[in-house]
Chains A and B, each alone.
Chain A
């Protein structure tokens, strides 16, 4: 799969800012069904990355929720771990009403300061490398030379910085809490994994 830079930008601007809300919405609904939020979120991104056009999507947040919902329903149906009653229940998977989507979500001051806080909370070397690469715009080689470390080490720090930031914002705003909820979620899913009825062979 490859998708365009434009699509990545579109996803970054219109979808990623709502990931935390989507996770929150999903976590209440998927746990009982034995689904993993991470999987649904990934699948949602994969679909949004692979659909041919996005220019017809007026409200990306709602669209993202719709896609996630179809992923959940599809999974439930495929796994046969849920009865028709559950699917028919209108409350289940009711997509929340959305306040008008802010066109420039990242411009929201509060959100910017969240991002700042997340960057500030990075481990020092990660923050240093991230700042030099993204904010000062230095190349990987320039950063390596400036810090006297290998380019591959620069890459490692950068990768880690992006992964941490992605989880901090994507999993729900508050940086410290975000990462502990990652942990909890993982633990939960381990449990639900075990308790889930196995697929019939």
Chain B
């Protein structure tokens, strides 16, 4: 007979943390331990969130009066073993998904799952419409290109040099103090040793650099180099003053969502969102009614799934969704 009380070790650990957090018995040391545990494996954050959810669910069920049917506790029952069954440590690629809030340091480990393109000399890398491309470089660094991005890569003995021609890319740079990693985007030159940062070069020539981890030296043409640290965003417009601001962890994560095939459409109109999708997919979202196009949307959506987004939007706003060969059409009911 199967043991109905078997639970896996991860679920049990997550339950333990959820209960401790719920009972507010965490001291700073426990908190640090919890943080470390959450950061240790991307699965942990999900398991923890699930356990917190379940705990809240049972609290509510109990409050609603669940106890009527529960038999009285018998006495003299031998104590059950609280030992957790062993669970094999299987590695699955989905565990390497980058969890926004869970562990910023995870970004680099994603790359394990990717094909390792060996690169030598100067090579051009492009990500076409609808694709986000990650490429591992020979030094262990990795470049992730957003749709419509082109860069050229030159791995030289004394430097690693990337020239960005257009688009948006994220760089996870392997530490190598003897070989600086240099990214050139328009008039801006970024020099790093080991870090993770994102560069956006707009069609109008504006460059934004956002540092996720570590420190980055950024130099715009004709200015002194500036040192950016994690969370800093520096914006260098084609003309006008350079601005610099500190972003929250959540904002940095949101800006990197495209790397896992998502985008945050919060605050956009349906029309804007449809244009965003046009960047990733040939399946268009068509909105003829300007009033419909002006409706606001919110949420994080998969870039590869315009229809899924359109369905969610239709659901949220009570719209009608019709499908054509190459498009989904949103209209009023």
Contacts and interface: CB of A to CB of B under 8 A. Distances in A.
Contact of B23 (A1, A122, A140, A164): A140
Interface in B38-66: 38, 42-43, 45-62, 64-66
Contact of B261 (A41, A77, A167): A77
B52 to A, nearest CB: 4
Contact of A135 (B25, B62, B254): B62
Contacts of B38: 1
B261 A74 contact: yes
Interface in B67-112: 67-71, 73-74, 77, 79-80, 82, 88, 90, 92-95, 97, 99-103, 112
A45 B300 contact: no
B5 A123 contact: yes
Nearest to B60: A106
B52 A11 contact: yes
A39 B95 contact: yes
Contacts of B82: 153, 156-157, 159-160
Interface in B151-194: none
B101 A200 contact: no
B15 interface: yes
Given A35-B94, A58-B316, A70-B305, A46 B57 contact: no
A27 to B, nearest CB: 15
Contacts of A140: 23, 25
Interface residues of B, number: 89
Contacts of A119: 66-67, 70
Contacts of A86: none
A13 B56 contact: yes
A20 B304 CA distance: 26
B45 A175 contact: no
Nearest to A72: B94
Q: Is the interface of A mostly helix, strand, loop or mixed?
A: helix
Contacts of A87: 304
A48 B302 CA distance: 14
A28 interface: no
Interface in A180-201: 180, 182-183, 186, 189-190, 193, 199-201
Interface stretch (B206-214, B238-246, B284-292, B307-315): B307-315
B4 A128 contact: no
A113 B66 CA distance: 7
A99 interface: no
Given A1-B102, A117-B69, A162-B55, A73 B7 contact: no
Question: Which of A2, A67, A70, A117 gathers the greatest number of chain B CB atoms within 10 Å?
Answer: A70
B312 A62 contact: yes
Contacts of A124: 73-74, 77, 80
B15 to A, nearest CB: 4
Interface string A29-45: 00000011001111111
Contact of A71 (B88, B92, B94): B94
B19 interface: yes
A66 B308 contact: yes
A116 interface: yes
B150 interface: no
A12 B101 contact: no
A179 to B, nearest CB: 4
A99 to B, nearest CB: 13
Interface in A64-121: 66-67, 69-71, 73-75, 77-80, 87, 90, 95, 106-107, 111-113, 115-117, 119-121
A112 B58 CA distance: 10
Interface residues of A, number: 103
B140 interface: no
A119 B59 CA distance: 12
B79 A11 contact: no
B294 interface: no
B92 A193 contact: yes
A126 B99 CA distance: 33
A183 B2 contact: yes
B94 A46 contact: no
Contacts of A179: 2-6
Contact of B94 (A39, A113, A158, A170): A39
A119 B72 CA distance: 11
A201 B2 CA distance: 39
B28 interface: no
B53 A167 contact: no
Interface of B: 2-8, 11-12, 14-16, 18-19, 23, 25, 35, 38, 42-43, 45-62, 64-71, 73-74, 77, 79-80, 82, 88, 90, 92-95, 97, 99-103, 112-116, 250, 253-254, 260-262, 266, 298-302, 304-305, 307-308, 311-312, 315-316
Q: Which 8 A-B pairs have the closest CB atoms?
A: A42-B46, A12-B56, A11-B53, A49-B49, A70-B302, A50-B101, A46-B46, A12-B57
